[in-house]
Amino acid sequence: MPELQMHEPSPGADPVVDLSGAPLPTKQTLNGRQSLLTQFGKFIAFDARIMRMVVKGNKAH
Amino acid sequence: MAEIVVLGAGISGHTAALHLRRLLGRTHRVTVVSPNSKWNWIPSNIWVGVGRMTTDDVVFPLAPVYRRKGIDFHQAKAVAIWPQGDADDPRGAVDVEYTGPDEHGRTARLRYDYLINATGPRLRFEATEGLGPDDGRTVSVCTAGHATQAATALDAVIAELRQGRKQTLVIGTGHGTCTCEGAAFEYTFNVDHELREAGVRDLARVVYLSNEAALGDFGVDGMVFEQSGFQTTSELWTGSLFRERGVEAILGAHVSRVTPDAIEYEILDGSTHTLAYDFAMLLPPFGGQPIKAYDASGTDITADLFAPSGFMKVDADYTVKPYEEWRASDWPSTYAAPGYDNLWAVGIAFAPPHQISKPQKTPNGTVIAPSPPRTGMPSGVMGKHVAMTIADRIKHGPDAKAHEASMATMGAACVASAGAGLTRGSAAAMTMLPVVPDHQRYPTGRDLRETRGELGLHGHWVKLMLHYLFLYKARALPGWFLIPE
Ligand SMILES: Cc1cc2nc3c(=O)[nH]c(=O)nc-3n(C[C@H](O)[C@H](O)[C@H](O)COP(=O)(O)OP(=O)(O)OC[C@H]3O[C@@H](n4cnc5c(N)ncnc54)[C@H](O)[C@@H]3O)c2cc1C
């Protein structure tokens, strides 16, 4: 079931999703998303996860 | 000597051909048939579509690579398959029509011992009136050429915005049965990023118009992630990005017509709407390539080999059943065509047993059902596994066991760029395992340790790294096979 609601379509208006319930990132989160150091760590972790998935995927058969 | 013919030189076919060449000695012939002379790293078309890359950055000519590797290349399109041979020869055959400048229109019948159909999607712009860059009014990023046109159109809109004129940019899916929503999502946020970089975002209305019933569905029924000790959904996570970037979303939409100034669409509750636009990038629905099939006597058996969508039937369970009864085991694992032990379809060319997301109908009977995506990573893996099956059968006899690569066991990484730039870029980096949820095996359908979604600069680096790695691999440069699919 979708958790985010559609606006009630009023005549002529576009039925856009009401995003007021979606969490907004804090300033700290936004900074973290652009921080070179934090992001380098995440880059390594993401690459490791892809490699693990490749190995798991191959083992599955 | 065995003759192996690969139809298509995209992600799955090219991968299969290179591995076949690596696994088999030069006594066996590997032939690739493809209408395009160039290979295209399609995921980077997104960056061509916003003018960050040029066509030359995302394509390279295939002929020199195939010459170097000892692979025969026919610049041609397959038009018919004779899986049981014909009156002259019991070996299978494929009819091709040449498309290169020197031989345009010439036809030939190529014999094969093993055939891989990796012909990808036919872009069905004609499914919606007014859709597409050629005969319609919308742009596309499905090919490098389309993406170049999209970048030009985007430039024109930015020029209008610079003049202080408000503009509405609509990005999404151009039909209720489209797939590849991830590509529309990435293009949306790349456009948003470019508008910000140009300093004109405040005058632009950016609307994501999609057939997905919920944000973050991506045609894979959404994802559940574990984050900071809680389970969260791709819907909430994606909604956060839309809210942060001020992108409006209209969901569960089937676009019925695109006129010069408005997009007409119907949503799941059956209501119909029109959305005025200045720029629209809407993806087309996909179908299989128009390839016929004949038995040895020349009787048309196209309907036996291909599903009505034009995709080739393989070892999937095509029994029609309701969503609640869909199982991971319905999905194919060897990609062999039923009744043939020397014919396979991989990548987008195989017919999926059903959607992954729940298909829906509006009260007016309009089908709004995202088709299952077959992204790059699984497509490459399928190509490699079928190549290994063929190599084993040639080396060890026809009983050699087929290699399996089901989308219900393999994972996929999906890196949706949200803006380019080495220090200012961003991307939604997602991994999921398996691609097709398996609710019998995992309570949330997927392995929570491997199913993750994160936003940030690192995602942009991953996408850029994949761009260079896969172009390197596709060029078959030294050590290419060490780079996983
Ligand atoms: C804009 C966009 C962005 C994307 N981004 C991503 C992403 O970030 N990550 C990801 O994993 N996936 C992404 N994808 C999906 C990915 O591109 C596909 O999964 C992948 O290309 C499928 O590979 P394929 O070999 O099945 O088809 P294709 O790569 O399309 O190759 C098909 C080949 O068949 C050839 N062909 C066509 N007709 C014939 C014929 N009659 N006879 C012979 N050959 C024929 C074509 O010329 C082509 O060479 C994206 C797709 C799009 C459209």
Taking CA atoms, B121 is separated from B10, B255, B350, in Å, by 10, 20, 10
Task: Give just the sign of the alpha carbon dihedral B97, B98, B103, B105.
Answer: positive
pLDDT at B41 over 80: yes
DSSP B202: G
The answer to whether B270 contacts chain A (CB < 8 Å) is: no
Q: Find where tokens 């190995």 sit.
A: A55
pLDDT value for A53: 82
Contacts of B403 in chain A (CB under 8 A): 61
> B458 contacts in A (CB within 8 Å)?
39-40, 42-43, 46
pLDDT score, position A2: 53
Report which listed range, A44-48, B225-229, B475-479, is most confident. Answer: B475-479
pLDDT > 90? residue A54:
no
Residue found under tokens 């060890």: B396
Residue A9 has pLDDT above 60, yes or no: no
Nearest CA in chain B to A52: B450
Q: Which of A32, A42, A57 sits opposite B411 (nearest CB)?
A: A57
Q: Residue B71: enclosing H or E segment and its boundaries?
A: none
Could you state, in order of their start, the residue ranges of all structural domains in chain A?
36-61
Q: Exposure of B360 by Cβ count < 10 A (0-12 exposed, 13-18 middle, 19+ buried)? A: middle
ipTM rounded to 2 decimals: 0.84
Full set of structural domains in chain B with CATH: 3-123+287-396 (3.50.50.100)
Please say whether the beta carbons of B368 and B268 come within 8 A.
Answer: yes
Q: Ligand 1: which of B5, B6, B11, B377 to mutate, judged by most atoms within 8 Å of the beta carbon?
A: B11
* B268-292: pLDDT as tens digits: 999 999 999 999 999 999 999 999 9
Residue with tokens 């809210």: B243
Residue A12 confidence (pLDDT): 59
